[in-house]
C-alpha cells in the first residue's frame, strides 16, 4: 500500500453527510410504523408509546450502531497498515474472539459480573481477552522470517475457533436461561434500551479511537515498511504499542456491548481507499463515518427484513461480508 499525502476535506464532508443522514433517517425505519403527531406529543412531554419507541429504543440503537461500526472500521484500517495485510481486522485476527470469550465469561459465570457505574467486568474481561490475542498476533508477526499473510490469518481464525469452542464449553456450566439470554449477543446484536450501553461503550471506545487517530501521520510512513518508516524518523515500536492498546480498547468496547461482529473492519477501509486514496489522515476519519453508517444500515435491514422478528446484525454483516472476504482472499 503506497500512501498519498493529498488531504481531501471535501471527501470527509461527503462521508460526514452520509453518517449524519443515517443518524437522522434510520431511527424511523422499523417493524412498527411511527406516527409524527405522537412523536411531537412526546417532545412536548407526553410519554406516548411511539415516542418511547423512537427515543428509547431506535435512537440509542442507531447511535450505538454508528459508533460501533465506526470503531470496528477504524480499527480494521489501522491493523491493515500495522501488519501490511489487506485482510486484517479484529475478527480475522482473532481479537474479537478473544474479547468475546472474556465478555462471555463475565456475563455467564456466577459471581464474575460486577458493575461500577458505566463500567463493568464484562468490559474488563473483554479488554483482557483482546489484549492477550493482540499480544499473540504481534508475537507471530514479529518472529524471525515473518510468517505469511495466509498463516497470520489462519492463526487468527484458529484463535476465533478456540474462543468459540471455549464459550460452548462454558455453556455447560451455566443455566439454560442464562444461555438463551446471551445467545443473540453471541451472534452480534444491538438490542439496547436507553443510552446506558452507549455511555459504557464510550468509556473504552473513545480513548481507543483517539489513540488510533493520533497516529494517522505515522501510519502513512509505516505503510511503506518498517525500514522506510524508521528512515523517516518514526518510532515504529511506539506506534505498534499504541496501536496495540488502541485496537484492544476499541475491540473490547465493541464486543462487550454488541458481541462479535465480523467483516465491517475489513471491507469498509478497502471501500474508502478505493474512493479516496491511501492517506491515513483521510482514511481513518472516513472509515469511521462510512463504517458507522454501514453498520446502522445493516441493523435497519436486520430489524425489518423478517419483521416483526429481528435478526442479529452479525448475521447480516456475515452474509454480506463473507463473499467479499473470499474475493479479497483469492485476489491476494
- Smallest CA-to-CA distance from 265 within 126, 105, 72 is with 72
Distance CA 48, CA 330 (A): 53
What average pLDDT is seen over the chain? 87
pLDDT at position 126 is 93
Per DSSP, the three-state class of 219 is: helix
Mean pLDDT (whole number) for 199-213: 94
pLDDT at position 160 is 87
Per-residue pLDDT tens over the stretch 70-125: 999 999 999 999 888 888 899 888 999 999 999 998 888 777 777 766 778 889 99
* Residues facing residue 115 across a β-bridge: 120
pTM: 0.91
- Smallest CA-to-CA distance from 197 within 304, 7, 57, 26 is with 57
pLDDT at position 58 is 94
Residue 128: which residues within 8 A CB-CB, separation 6 or more? Answer: 102
* Residues facing residue 119 across a β-bridge: 116
pLDDT at position 3 is 47
Reduced DSSP (H G I as helix, E B as strand, rest coil) percent helix, strand, coil of the chain, to 5: 70, 0, 25
Distance CA 280, CA 318 (A): 26
Sort 9 into a burial class: Cβ within 10 Å, 0-12 / 13-18 / 19+: exposed
Dihedral, CA of residue 107, residue 112, residue 116 and residue 122, to nearest 10: -40
Confidence of residue 170 (pLDDT cuts 50, 70, 90): confident
Confidence of residue 11 (pLDDT cuts 50, 70, 90): confident
Do 75 and 89 touch, CB atoms closer than 8 A? yes
Grid cell digits, residue 99: 474479547
Mean pLDDT (whole number) for 37-50: 82
Residue 244: which CATH number? 1.10.3470.10
Distance CA 48, CA 40 (A): 9
pLDDT exceeds 90 at position 180: no
Q: Is residue 1 part of a domain?
A: no
Q: Is residue 319 part of a domain?
A: yes
Q: Is residue 2 part of a domain?
A: no
Grid cell digits, residue 312: 442479529
Q: How many domains does the chain have?
A: 1
Q: Is residue 92 part of a domain?
A: yes
Residue 178: which residues within 8 A CB-CB, separation 6 or more? Answer: 107, 108
Q: Is residue 82 part of a domain?
A: yes
Share of the chain above pLDDT 70, in %: 92
Domain hosting 72: range is 9-331
Least confident of 115-119, 172-176, 182-186, 308-312: 115-119
Distance CA 108, CA 178 (A): 6
Q: Which of 256 and 328 is assigned the larger pLDDT? A: 256
Least confident of 143-157, 158-172, 275-289: 143-157
Q: Is the peptide bond between 150 and the residue preceding it cis, with omega within 30 degrees of 0?
A: no
Mean pLDDT (whole number) for 239-263: 93
Q: Is residue 90 part of a domain?
A: yes
Do 262 and 91 touch, CB atoms closer than 8 A? yes
Amino acid at each position: 500500500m503506497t500512501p498519498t499525502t493529498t488531504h481531501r476535506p471535501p471527501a470527509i464532508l461527503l462521508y460526514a453527510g452520509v453518517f449524519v443522514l443515517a443518524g437522522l433517517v434510520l431511527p424511523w425505519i422499523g417493524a412498527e410504523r411511527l406516527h409524527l403527531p405522537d412523536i411531537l406529543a412526546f417532545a412536548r412531554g407526553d410519554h406516548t408509546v411511539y415516542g418511547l419507541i423512537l427515543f428509547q429504543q431506535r435512537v440509542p440503537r442507531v447511535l450505538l450502531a454508528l459508533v460501533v461500526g465506526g470503531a470496528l472500521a477504524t480499527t480494521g484500517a489501522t491493523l491493515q497498515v500495522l501488519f501490511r495485510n489487506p485482510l486484517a481486522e479484529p475478527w480475522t485476527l482473532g481479537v474479537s474472539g478473544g474479547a468475546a470469550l472474556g465478555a462471555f465469561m463475565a456475563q455467564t459465570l456466577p459471581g464474575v459480573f460486577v458493575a461500577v457505574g458505566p463500567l463493568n467486568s464484562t468490559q474488563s474481561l473483554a479488554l483482557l481477552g483482546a489484549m492477550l490475542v493482540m499480544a499473540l498476533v504481534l508475537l507471530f508477526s514479529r518472529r524471525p522470517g515473518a510468517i505469511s499473510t495466509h498463516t497470520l490469518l489462519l492463526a487468527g481464525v484458529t484463535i476465533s475457533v478456540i474462543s468459540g469452542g471455549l464459550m460452548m464449553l462454558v455453556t455447560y456450566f451455566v443455566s439454560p436461561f442464562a444461555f438463551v439470554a446471551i445467545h443473540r449477543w453471541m451472534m452480534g446484536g444491538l438490542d439496547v434500551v436507553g443510552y446506558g450501553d452507549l455511555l459504557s461503550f464510550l468509556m473504552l471506545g473513545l480513548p481507543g479511537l483517539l489513540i488510533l487517530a493520533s497516529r494517522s501521520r505515522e501510519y502513512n510512513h509505516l505503510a511503506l515498511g518498517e525500514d522506510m518508516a524508521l528512515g523517516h524518523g518514526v518510532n515504529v515500536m511506539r506506534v505498534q504499542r499504541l496501536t496495540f492498546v488502541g485496537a484492544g480498547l476499541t475491540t473490547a468496547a465493541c464486543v462487550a456491548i454488541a458481541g462479535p461482529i465480523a467483516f465491517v473492519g475489513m471491507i469498509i477501509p478497502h471501500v474508502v481507499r478505493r474512493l479516496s486514496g491511501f492517506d491515513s489522515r483521510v482514511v481513518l476519519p472516513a472509515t469511521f463515518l462510512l463504517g458507522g453508517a454501514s453498520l446502522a444500515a445493516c441493523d435497519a435491514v436486520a430489524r425489518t427484513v423478517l419483521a416483526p422478528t429481528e435478526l442479529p446484525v452479525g448475521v447480516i454483516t456475515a452474509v454480506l461480508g463473507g463473499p467479499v472476504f473470499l474475493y479479497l482472499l483469492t485476489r491476494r
